[in-house]
Chains A and B, each alone.
Chain A
């Protein structure tokens, strides 16, 4: 009876919340108050797939949901990205019958990496994807090893892990487990021997802290590594990106499944590979999966095409406090052969938390913009002075850089008869301030 009532109340609140356009964590929060063991009482479907990691969770989950739905599976997933235990509870109860049985074939959960240990105390995922561990929002996450320890607490013995073999810190979760599914990329044409970022989190082995060597780097600490001391090394992969041509926008998985890329970044290819892996594990035909993923344009609003006057542009949502996310967006802009202007906005550092910390700007490799393809660079927002200082430590010629604290003035500068394509790179916390000007 308690179960029945709690589900009823949760669904009612969800309904009201949707009408009012409110977030999805409150109904779950109330449900957990009314019935603290509610998640232990509901009957969950055969597949419970969880996804966590620093970057790419939302995109990976969206693509998995897309493939599964296209292939006739019924999927319950946290579309709105409420990824802590309250949001997950709302998700589950909103998709349950009143007797407490989740109606879908598959429960797909994007989980916050630090709070997964609370969520998965009650729910045991059948499969658990860990995408990567980067320096991300250090003002609340501490550092990647701190997050790794938190994720470690969330892993249950009877869960099958699906791990990024190219990330040494993520791969530690698979040590001494025998049923791990590994995904990763073969040596790619775009690989480098040395780390090209501002810092290298792959210098020391995550297991013994002695030197690691890379035979190939895809980006940052992601690549083919081996410890010179304890022998810890990249695991062979079960699902593999075998070649990538970013100019043509083509990635090939397992040597035969071609995927045309809507977003031409390596970073996006890892999300695609993770989604491909999950779909295969669930039993979807690989050819069909490749078709579903080809040219798939994310609906989560992280890439928005726009026009300013006669000029065309793309807004790339990078995450503030996340240098790898910025590096990937910068790399994409710098590869624009027809020439482009690039705009950065840092106005509010964080959406959820107050912080004035801009240390992360120093971890971003802005020097990639020092190339012929990039014409003007526009720095904007409350923290434009910090951006200006950061750029003064790059080799980019000063006359390429324009600084406008007022985002509207930056917009007016772009609204000119210049012909270059525009890339606006900013965060969820600031993108609205730009989009409302359009």
Chain B
């Protein structure tokens, strides 16, 4: 199988390269041969050759620089998504999929238009938060961190319910976007390391029905996940009623 870490050197703010490392390891541990390509601005990736694509988060300025390059993939990315192949986009990378991004100065940048949403940035306050999200495809919540300065309007197919943290816009209890097997979320950092059950779910989609995914190697990951989930539930209890049942 072929994995692609796209914009690896510019959209990589929070140790996010580890997402691709985690995918590579779980496939290999499951007996599936795979290789990872790292490509960036100026390269021409043949998206249809890949079985998994990952793009991470960048500074607001880096995202705009990447957007100019990313535009060339509009058609090939659309067919990649339509074919049901898996792509994960974390942090502000998935904001490029929408209609437009308006930066803090009011300048508008046209998105690649695969989805219909719009993004508005500001430069006054960094919106950060620990996060617990619930997905409809798993009984295991996701944990992580959000670090952004934007709000996203008009997403019809969100990825997560927000139990703790920040949604797509202020006071939104929905977060991220899902289109077929495209997963976009503002959870940043190595979320596939931190969320071994989410990794398992995604790896199953990548591997397909014929191949079985092995999770035997994920012992420390699973314990680490429980420690974080419990710590966040304790921290969030009271403020977040849905969490207090865990205490």
A: residues with CB less than 8 A from B are 135, 138-146, 149, 198-200, 203-204, 209, 354-363, 382-383, 385-386, 388-389, 392-393
Does B107 make an interface contact (CB < 8 A)?
no
User: In the bound complex, do residue A356 and residue B126 qualify as a contact, i.e. CB atoms below 8 Å apart?
Assistant: no
Does B188 make an interface contact (CB < 8 A)?
yes
User: In the bound complex, do residue B65 and residue A361 qualify as a contact, i.e. CB atoms below 8 Å apart?
Assistant: no
CA distance A223 to B227 in the complex (A): 40
CA distance A389 to B123 in the complex (A): 35
CA distance A361 to B194 in the complex (A): 12
Contacts of B25 in A (CB 8 A): 393
1/0 contact string of B125-163 vs chain A (CB within 8 Å): 010101000000000000111010100000000000000
Contacts of A145 in B (CB 8 A): 59-61
User: In the bound complex, do residue A198 and residue B147 qualify as a contact, i.e. CB atoms below 8 Å apart?
Assistant: no
User: In the bound complex, do residue B61 and residue A356 qualify as a contact, i.e. CB atoms below 8 Å apart?
Assistant: no
Contact of B144 among A140, A200, A357, A360 (CB under 8 A): A357
Q: Which residue of B lies closest to A204 (CB)?
A: B10
Contacts of B10 in A (CB 8 A): 203-204
B: residues with CB less than 8 A from A are 9-10, 12-18, 21, 25, 59-62, 65, 123, 126, 128, 130, 143-145, 147, 149, 188-190, 193-194, 220-221, 223-224, 227-228, 231-232, 235
User: In the bound complex, do residue A357 and residue B130 qualify as a contact, i.e. CB atoms below 8 Å apart?
Assistant: yes
User: In the bound complex, do residue B145 and residue A362 qualify as a contact, i.e. CB atoms below 8 Å apart?
Assistant: no
CA distance A15 to B145 in the complex (A): 41
User: In the bound complex, do residue B15 and residue A363 qualify as a contact, i.e. CB atoms below 8 Å apart?
Assistant: yes
Contacts of A209 in B (CB 8 A): 61-62, 65
Q: 10 closest pairs, A vs B, by CB?
A: A362-B15, A359-B189, A385-B224, A357-B145, A209-B65, A142-B126, A359-B14, A388-B220, A145-B59, A359-B15
Contacts of A382 in B (CB 8 A): 227, 231
Known pairs A204-B62, A385-B224, A393-B21. 9 more at Cβ < 8 A? A138-B14, A139-B147, A144-B59, A146-B60, A355-B130, A355-B145, A357-B130, A361-B15, A389-B193
B132 to chain A, nearest CB (A): 10
User: In the bound complex, do residue A362 and residue B190 qualify as a contact, i.e. CB atoms below 8 Å apart?
Assistant: yes
User: In the bound complex, do residue B224 and residue A146 qualify as a contact, i.e. CB atoms below 8 Å apart?
Assistant: no
Contact of A141 among B17, B126, B193 (CB under 8 A): B126
Q: Which residue of A lies closest to B223 (CB)?
A: A385
CA distance A138 to B123 in the complex (A): 15
Contacts of B149 in A (CB 8 A): 142, 146
Q: Which residue of A lies closest to B126 (CB)?
A: A142
Contacts of A388 in B (CB 8 A): 220, 224
Contacts of A355 in B (CB 8 A): 130, 145
A-B contact pairs, 10 of them (CB 8 A): A138-B147, A146-B59, A146-B60, A356-B143, A357-B144, A362-B15, A362-B18, A362-B193, A385-B220, A389-B224
CA distance A226 to B59 in the complex (A): 21
User: In the bound complex, do residue A142 and residue B220 qualify as a contact, i.e. CB atoms below 8 Å apart?
Assistant: no
Residue of A200, A204, A383 ringed by the most chain B CB atoms within 10 A? A204
Q: Which residue of A lies closest to B8 (CB)?
A: A199
A352 to chain B, nearest CB (A): 13
CA distance A382 to B234 in the complex (A): 14
Contacts of B145 in A (CB 8 A): 139, 355-357, 359
B21 to chain A, nearest CB (A): 6
CA distance A393 to B232 in the complex (A): 25
CA distance A142 to B10 in the complex (A): 15
Residue of B16, B61, B220 ringed by the most chain A CB atoms within 10 A? B220
Known A359-B189, A362-B189; contact A139-B61, beta-carbon cutoff 8 A: no
Known A146-B149, A362-B190, A386-B224; contact A356-B13, beta-carbon cutoff 8 A: no
Q: Which residue of B lies closest to A203 (CB)?
A: B9
Contact of A383 among B128, B144, B188, B224 (CB under 8 A): B224
B11 to chain A, nearest CB (A): 11
CA distance A373 to B65 in the complex (A): 43
Contact of B128 among A140, A356, A360 (CB under 8 A): A140
CA distance A145 to B61 in the complex (A): 8
Q: Which residue of A lies closest to B58 (CB)?
A: A143
Contacts of B21 in A (CB 8 A): 393
B5 to chain A, nearest CB (A): 13
CA distance A432 to B218 in the complex (A): 32
User: In the bound complex, do residue A362 and residue B17 qualify as a contact, i.e. CB atoms below 8 Å apart?
Assistant: yes
Known A382-B227, A393-B18; contact A138-B220, beta-carbon cutoff 8 A: no
B186 to chain A, nearest CB (A): 13
Contacts of B194 in A (CB 8 A): 358, 386
Contacts of A359 in B (CB 8 A): 14-16, 145, 188-190
B198 to chain A, nearest CB (A): 15
User: In the bound complex, do residue B228 and residue A356 qualify as a contact, i.e. CB atoms below 8 Å apart?
Assistant: yes
Contacts of B228 in A (CB 8 A): 356, 358, 386
Contact of B126 among A146, A358, A392 (CB under 8 A): A146
User: In the bound complex, do residue A143 and residue B59 qualify as a contact, i.e. CB atoms below 8 Å apart?
Assistant: yes
Q: Which residue of B lies closest to A195 (CB)?
A: B9
